[in-house]
């Protein structure tokens, strides 16, 4: 079975990139197709044979992909996959737009339907007149692209719901992304601070957490950077501190190991940081209408709150203070998201779908 991998763009490091490396362990010969490739910012991709599109030669496309949303679907349509049996697109945007012929199976591992067009559209369009103007056309293209995969696999139940809502497609399975859970030390002494690890962008709703802790007057450490950083720093009280410099894996693990609890107020696609906190033996406070709530065992490894509001977060923190969370339970819960589990589940379902596809479509 000859496999090709497809990803939106290779110019950063994050959760999706961990997925690609795990897939590389299963199919080490599979090339990786993408719109643009920046080797300097994506050294993790050195293990792949990377095949980029014509957009590679367009000035600014590597670092400002948002300027070329109208062009990126065509970049993926330009690739040929005639020599492959299976194409696996890993995408939260345009990679699903690839075109395959009947003898080639296309499986989409969907990180989320294109966020700036659907679940996060209001937030992204608020400050972008260009996006508001282009949204009708971009949504039409996105729906056309969404019809091209033969099967969908979702990264969470929350994303499975979005695939059905926005694309009218059924996901064959939910397979949670892989998380490196072996780098955390649950023996570290707990200090009296709460922790946020996140990009500081509007949909993450860090503003609600800041508002809650301004009222609670409890120590909060926020690790991350982004467009909201200046605003958040301006409104934060003296009990809230920010860490925006790059941290090594060991330094980040030390924060997880030392915190009292981890918080997330966003409607997340999954929540790798929450799994990392659980692996460090720490409870998680998470918004209920989010895939992060799928990670937490409510009342046992953390607290789930019902509304994206300051008061809901305050109530959840106070509730957590009244119960006992055992680090052992958090660590055991994190085992559900180990890389070995991802590799086995993904390998099994890809081969099963390929066998079914060839049996019913190519016979």
In tens digits, the chain (363 residues) has pLDDT values of 999 999 999 999 888 999 999 999 999 999 999 999 999 999 999 999 999 999 999 988 888 877 888 899 999 999 999 999 999 999 999 999 999 999 999 999 999 999 999 998 988 888 788 889 999 999 999 999 999 999 999 999 999 999 999 999 999 999 999 999 988 877 766 778 999 999 999 999 999 999 999 999 999 999 999 999 999 999 999 999 999 998 998 999 999 999 999 999 999 999 999 999 999 999 999 999 999 999 999 999 999 999 999 999 999 999 999 999 999 999 999 999 999 999 999 999 999 999 999 988 765
pLDDT at position 188: 67
Rounded to whole angstroms, the Cα distance separating 107 from 355 reads: 13
Structure tokens at 65: 């992909």
129 and 224 in a single domain? The answer is no
pLDDT at position 138: 92
SS (H, E, C) 171-214: EEEECCCCECCCCCCCCCCCCCCEEEECCCCHHHCHHHHHHHHH
Rounded to whole angstroms, the Cα distance separating 285 from 278 reads: 11
Whole-number Cα distances in Å, 187 to 12, 43, 190, 250, 276? 32, 32, 9, 14, 15
328 and 347 in a single domain? The answer is no
Structure tokens at 305: 């709150």
165 and 311 in a single domain? The answer is no
88 and 201 in a single domain? The answer is no
> Is 188 part of any domain?
no
DSSP state of 166: I
Closest among 249, 237, 331 to 284, alpha carbons compared: 331
Length of the chain: 363
> Is 185 part of any domain?
no
> Is 22 part of any domain?
yes
271 and 209 in a single domain? The answer is yes
3-state secondary structure of 103: coil
226 and 327 in a single domain? The answer is yes
> Is 184 part of any domain?
no
91 and 58 in a single domain? The answer is yes
pLDDT at position 306: 97
* Domain that includes residue 274, residue range: 194-336
Rounded to whole angstroms, the Cα distance separating 6 from 153 reads: 14
Chain CA centroid to CA 104, Å: 27
Structure tokens at 143: 């729906």
> Is 344 part of any domain?
yes
Contact 278, 331 (CB under 8 A): yes
244 and 343 in a single domain? The answer is no
207 and 95 in a single domain? The answer is no
pLDDT at position 339: 94
Q: What is the tally of structural domains in the chain?
A: 2
Kindly report the pTM of this predicted structure: 0.93
> Is 137 part of any domain?
yes
pLDDT at position 189: 67
> Is 183 part of any domain?
no
Q: What is the CATH number of the domain that holds 152?
A: 3.40.50.2000
59 and 198 in a single domain? The answer is no
pLDDT at position 61: 85
> Is 291 part of any domain?
yes
Whole-number Cα distances in Å, 86 to 34, 171, 219, 350, 360? 16, 17, 50, 9, 15
Closest among 261, 258, 131, 269 to 199, alpha carbons compared: 269
Phi then psi for residue 6, to 5 deg, are -135, 135
Rounded to whole angstroms, the Cα distance separating 337 from 335 reads: 5
166 and 226 in a single domain? The answer is no
311 and 349 in a single domain? The answer is no
Closest among 334, 329, 296, 286 to 180, alpha carbons compared: 334
């Amino acid at each position: 079975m000859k496999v090709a991998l497809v990803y939106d763009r290779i110019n950063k490091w994050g959760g999706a990139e961990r997925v690609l490396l795990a897939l590389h362990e299963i199919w080490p010969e599979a090339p990786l197709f993408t719109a643009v490739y920046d080797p300097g910012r994506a050294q993790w991709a050195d293990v792949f044979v990377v095949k980029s599109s014509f957009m590679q030669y367009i000035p600014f496309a590597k670092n400002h992909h948002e300027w070329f949303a109208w062009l990126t679907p065509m970049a993926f349509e330009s690739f040929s996959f005639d020599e492959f049996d299976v194409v696996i697109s890993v995408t939260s945007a345009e990679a699903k737009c690839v075109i395959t012929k009947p003898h080639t199976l296309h499986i989409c591992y969907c990180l989320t339907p294109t966020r700036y067009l659907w679940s996060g559209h209001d937030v992204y369009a608020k400050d972008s007149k260009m996006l508001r103007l282009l949204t009708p056309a971009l949504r039409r293209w996105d729906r056309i692209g969404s019809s091209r995969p033969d099967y969908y696999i979702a990264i969470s139940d929350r994303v499975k719901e979005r695939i059905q809502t926005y694309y009218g497609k059924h996901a064959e399975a939910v397979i949670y992304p892989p998380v490196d859970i072996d780098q955390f030390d649950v023996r570290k002494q707990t200090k009296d601070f709460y922790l946020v690890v996140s990009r500081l962008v509007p949909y993450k709703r860090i503003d609600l957490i800041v508002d809650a802790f301004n009222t609670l007057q409890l120590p909060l450490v926020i690790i991350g950077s982004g467009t909201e950083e200046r605003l958040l720093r301006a409104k934060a009280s003296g009990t809230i501190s920010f860490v925006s410099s790059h941290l090594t894996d060991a330094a980040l693990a030390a924060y997880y190991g030392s915190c009292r609890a981890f918080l997330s107020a966003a409607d997340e696609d999954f929540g790798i940081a929450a799994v990392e906190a659980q692996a460090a033996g720490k409870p998680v406070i998470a918004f209920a209408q989010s895939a992060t709530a799928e990670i937490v065992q409510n009342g046992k490894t953390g607290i789930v709150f019902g509304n994206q509001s300051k008061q809901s977060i305050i109530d959840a923190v106070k509730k957590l203070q009244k119960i006992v969370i055992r680090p052992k339970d958090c660590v055991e819960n994190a085992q559900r998201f180990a890389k070995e589990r991802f590799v086995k589940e993904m390998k099994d379902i890809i081969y099963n779908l390929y066998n079914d596809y060839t049996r019913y479509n190519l016979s």
